[in-house]
């Protein structure tokens, strides 16, 4: 069994590990968890630490207080040493989104409140989104004369379809949790006081599944957006060959035949 490394400590996020699940909480509630340089650096470091730790099987990403994340900290943008926007995106935002999508472990987004701007993009980059009744989504870029970024223009049409994506991106409409569920942006809406428990339960279920198969499934779902059915069929066969050669596959079959719960070890 892989050995757990000691969890890193941070100032603007909370990073907690329990039962093979890493919970990452954006933790600047006074600013609705707006993204400062430090927070972005810490978030990237957290995802990199998770990627290295094979004892972790699932991730929960959420926000402290009443918001999930209000996007870029706009006060910090007024600092004279703020990086040009394109540089900020290339060097600080895009690596976070790439790290999230490259992660083998699935990420459950527990969207506890408003997700705006790049905060919405962070929510979109999760594998599964559960939303509190108090959650809402707003691109917010148009209002400050910017273009949706951090993957928003890529994720949104894929998640809600081109018509709703155009409305959200161009008119900067706010989407309630209920409408987000209706348009397929979130898997499920739950009462606010049940969100943390539901997200944990989903993460625990993921943590009990075969890690290699989950990672391969993540990749296959993502790749499906850019390939033909023909290529997807080949890709599935390739990935199934890898999954089928794991001990976990043998364990899954044995557990089924012995009528017991499987114990997947990630090998
Ligand atoms: C904030 C923020 C915030 C700082 C609330 N910053 N303090 C941008 C540029 C750079 C690189 C490339 O990418 C990007 C990506 C982006 O993310 S652009 C989009 C940036 N985000 C926004 O434009 C959203 C700004 N916030 C809002 O529109 C509202 O705050 C929302 C709709 C999120 C929530 O509204 P309310 O519930 O009414 O809360 P509030 O506005 O009263 O905010 C509460 C506090 O949080 C307040 O502070 P205060 O000291 O007055 O209590 C806000 O100033 C602060 N805050 N968002 N992004």
Distance of CA 53 from the midpoint of ligand 1 (Å): 33
Question: Sheet containing 136-138: which strands, arranged edge to edge?
Answer: 67-69, 114-116, 136-138, 174-176
Look at ligand 1, atom 31, and give the residue with the nearest C-alpha.
70
pLDDT in tens, 105-162: 999 999 999 999 999 999 999 999 999 999 999 999 988 999 999 999 999 999 999 9
Output the average pLDDT for the chain: 96
Percent of the chain clearing pLDDT 90 (strictly above) = 94
Question: Are the CB atoms for 113 and 67 separated by under 8 Å?
Answer: yes
Q: Is the pLDDT of residue 1 over 70?
A: no
Give the pLDDT mean for 45-51: 98
Nearest CA to 187 out of 108, 114, 130 is that of: 130
List, for residues 218-254, the tens digit of each pLDDT value. Answer: 999 999 999 999 999 999 999 999 999 999 999 999 9
pLDDT attached to residue 41: 98
Distance CA 11, CA 226 (A): 38
Burial of 251 (0-12, 13-18, 19+ CB in 10 A): middle
Atom of ligand 1 nearest to the CA of 74: 6
Distance CA 159, CA 124 (A): 8
Q: Using a 6 Å cutoff on CB, does residue 140 contact ligand 1? A: yes
Ligand 1, atom 11: closest residue by C-alpha: 85
Whether 77 shows a pLDDT value over 70: the answer reads: yes
Specify whether the CB–CB gap between 75 and 98 falls below 8 A: no
Give the ranges where 93-176 is alpha helix by DSSP (H).
Answer: 94-102, 118-124, 152-160, 162-171
Q: At what angle do helices 37-52 and 94-102 cross, to 10 degrees?
A: 20
Q: What angle do CA 187, 130, 255 make, to 5 degrees?
A: 75
pLDDT of 6 reads: 73
Indicate whether residue 72 lines ligand 1 (CB < 6 A): yes
Which residue owns the Cα nearest ligand 1 atom 3? Answer: 73
* Average pLDDT of the segment spanning 6-18: 91
| 8 confidence band (pLDDT: 50, 70, 90) | confident
Question: Residue 78 C-alpha to ligand 1 middle, in angstroms?
Answer: 13
From the CB of 118, is ligand 1 less than 6 Å away?
Answer: yes
CA of 230 to the centre of ligand 1 (A): 45
| Ligand 1 centroid from CA 73, angstroms | 7
> What spacing in Å lies between the alpha carbon of 10 and ligand 1's midpoint?
22
Atom of ligand 1 nearest to the CA of 73: 6
Instruction: Tell me if 90 CB under 6 Å of ligand 1.
Output: no
Query: What is residue 184's predicted lDDT score, i.e. its pLDDT?
Result: 96
With a 6 Å cutoff on the Cβ, whether 88 touches ligand 1 is yes
Closest Cα to atom 4 of ligand 1: 73
Report which protein residue has its CA nearest ligand 1's atom 53.
31
Measured CA to CA, the distance from residue 128 to residue 155 in angstroms comes to 13
| Residue 25 β-bridge partners | 14, 62
Interatomic CA distance for residues 122 and 111, integer angstroms: 10
| pTM as predicted | 0.96
Distance 248 CA to ligand 1 centre (A): 45
Residue keyed to tokens 């905060």: 119
Could you identify the residue written with the tokens 């929960």?
60
């Amino acid at each position: 069994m892989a050995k757990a490394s000691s969890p890193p400590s941070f100032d603007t996020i909370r990073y907690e590990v329990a039962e093979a699940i890493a919970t990452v909480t954006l933790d600047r509630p006074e600013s609705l968890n707006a993204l400062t340089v430090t927070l972005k650096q810490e978030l990237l470091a957290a995802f990199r630490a998770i990627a290295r730790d094979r004892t972790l099987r699932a991730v929960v990403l959420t926000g402290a207080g009443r918001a999930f994340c209000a996007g870029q900290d706009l006060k910090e943008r007024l600092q004279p040493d703020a990086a040009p926007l394109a540089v900020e995106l290339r060097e600080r935002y895009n690596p976070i989104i790439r790290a999230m999508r490259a992660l083998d472990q699935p990420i459950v987004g527990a969207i506890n409140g408003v997700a705006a701007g790049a905060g919405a993009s962070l929510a979109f980059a999760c594998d599964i989104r559960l939303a509190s009744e108090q959650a809402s989504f707003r691109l917010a870029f148009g209002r400050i004369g910017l273009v949706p970024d951090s993957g928003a223009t890529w994720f949104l049409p894929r998640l809600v379809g081109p018509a709703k994506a155009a409305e959200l991106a161009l008119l900067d409409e706010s989407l309630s949790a209920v409408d987000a569920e209706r348009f397929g942006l979130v898997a499920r809406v739950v009462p606010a006081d049940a969100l943390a428990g539901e997200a944990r339960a989903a993460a625990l279920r993921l943590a009990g599944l075969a890690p290699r198969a989950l990672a391969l499934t993540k990749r296959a779902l993502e790749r499906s957006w850019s390939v033909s059915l023909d290529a997807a069929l080949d890709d599935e066969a390739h990935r199934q060959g890898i999954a089928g050669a794991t001990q976990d596959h043998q364990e899954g079959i044995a557990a089924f035949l012995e009528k017991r719960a499987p114990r997947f070890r990630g090998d």
